Amino acid sequence: MIRLTGVELRRLVARRLVMLGVVAVLGVTVLMLAATWWNSRPLSAAEQQNVKVQFEQAHADWVKNHDKYDKECRASYADTPDPKPSIEEMCTYTEPRLEDWGKPQTVFTDLMPSLLQGSSYLLAFAAFLIGASFIGAEFSSGSIGNWLTFEPRRMRVYGSKLVAVAVGMVPVAVVTLALLLAGTYLIVSQMGVTTGTTGKVWGNLLETSGRTVVLAGVAGALGGVLALLLRHTAAAIGVIMGYAVLVEGIFGSVLASAQPWLARLNFDAWVLHGTTYYVQKCKTMGDGSYTCESVEKTLSFEHGAWYLGIGAVVLIALGALVFNRRDVT
């Protein structure tokens, strides 16, 4: 099994499409860093002067009129229709501060989790495509039959191919995430705020990166399984794209309560160690009006882990059953 896996790894690395996929992933990561640099740039001197002028005008208006605005707001509070905030929330006029005006500084601890989440989607999708192309090509060309003449034990062949794809994606994911973490920190340290990046924060970021690496490996293996089941790379890609559009895009938006049982939200729950989503809660008010509000719900890390784990095991087992029984000629 180890020898077979080594052979499959060498074949994986030798494929031109795999190398193109790796280069594309690194290229997109560089673009993410470039976007971070662009968005972190401070305002120009002219823009800062314009912000200062606007602040001074707003501050002068507050000094002159905030007592008047407060009295008018409190006088009209009773006539404001429900639901409404408390009178203190609604009628508090805070003195403008210059630091609250203009472009806010980029904060590393706020930015990095969202970048890692985006990179997790990139890596999982790239791994799926690489796995599907690696195994799907053998069925499309018929070379899998020739391979089985040298190694007729199908489960060893099946296992070695999936392990090779999963293991092959690990260094790609590690390098990509290391580049993203280090590059973002260097950019923000020059143009934004990195204070507060404690050891605990780094630990959380590294844990998120580790879960992303695992997910990339599993996605690569599942891409191979789906290509094996459908016997073609394009068919596997078509199925996953159709699921994203029809199930996640249309069904998920129409029936929000079903979101915990869709792949994307569980994907986020695994990567981010828990996530949130929103559902609409509607009711009829006492005056007969019908109102809706968004209610935040939580999806736990454990739910995401069990969902993705069981789904992966079922698909891999189904692939093993089909490959063991199917005529590959």
Report d(CA 23, CA 21) in Å as an integer. 5
Is the model more confident about 158 or about 225? Answer: 225
Q: State yes or no: pLDDT of 327 exceeds 70.
A: no
The alpha carbon of 163 is separated from its chain's Cα centroid by a whole number of angstroms, namely 24
SS3 category, 290 = strand
Question: How far, in Å, CA of 238 to CA of 235, rounded?
Answer: 5
- Taken in order 38, 43, 44, 47, the sign of the CA dihedral is positive
Q: What is the mean pLDDT of residues 64-84?
A: 73
Specify whether the CB–CB gap between 51 and 96 falls below 8 A: no
Residue type, 293: E
- CA-to-CA distance for 10 and 151, rounded, in angstroms? 17
Q: What letter does residue 258 receive in the DSSP assignment?
A: G
To the nearest whole number, what is the mean pLDDT of the chain? 84
Kind of pairing, strands 290-299 and 275-284? antiparallel
Given a cut of 90, whether residue 178 has pLDDT beyond it is: yes
Over residues 266-280, the mean pLDDT reads 90
Q: d(Cα 253, Cα 238) in Å, to the nearest integer?
A: 21
Q: Flag whether pLDDT at 223 surpasses 70.
A: yes
Comparing C-alpha atoms, which of 46, 29, 27 is closest to residue 187?
29
Question: For residue 201, which of 319, 111, 103, 306 has the smallest C-alpha distance?
Answer: 111
Residue 9 has pLDDT above 80, yes or no: no
* pLDDT tens profile 95-144: 777 667 766 788 899 999 999 999 999 999 999 999 998 888 777 766 66
Q: What is the mean pLDDT of residues 219-236?
A: 89
Angle at 293 between CA 292 and CA 298, to 5 degrees: 135
Q: Once rounded to an integer, what is the mean pLDDT over residues 216-227?
A: 93
The residue ranking higher by pLDDT, 317 or 250, is 317
Q: In the numeric block, which tokens belong to residue 318?
A: 């189904």
Q: Is the pLDDT of residue 287 over 70?
A: no
Q: Both ends of the chain: CA-CA distance in Å?
A: 23
Contacts of 180 (CB under 8 A, 6+ apart): 29, 32, 33, 115, 116, 119
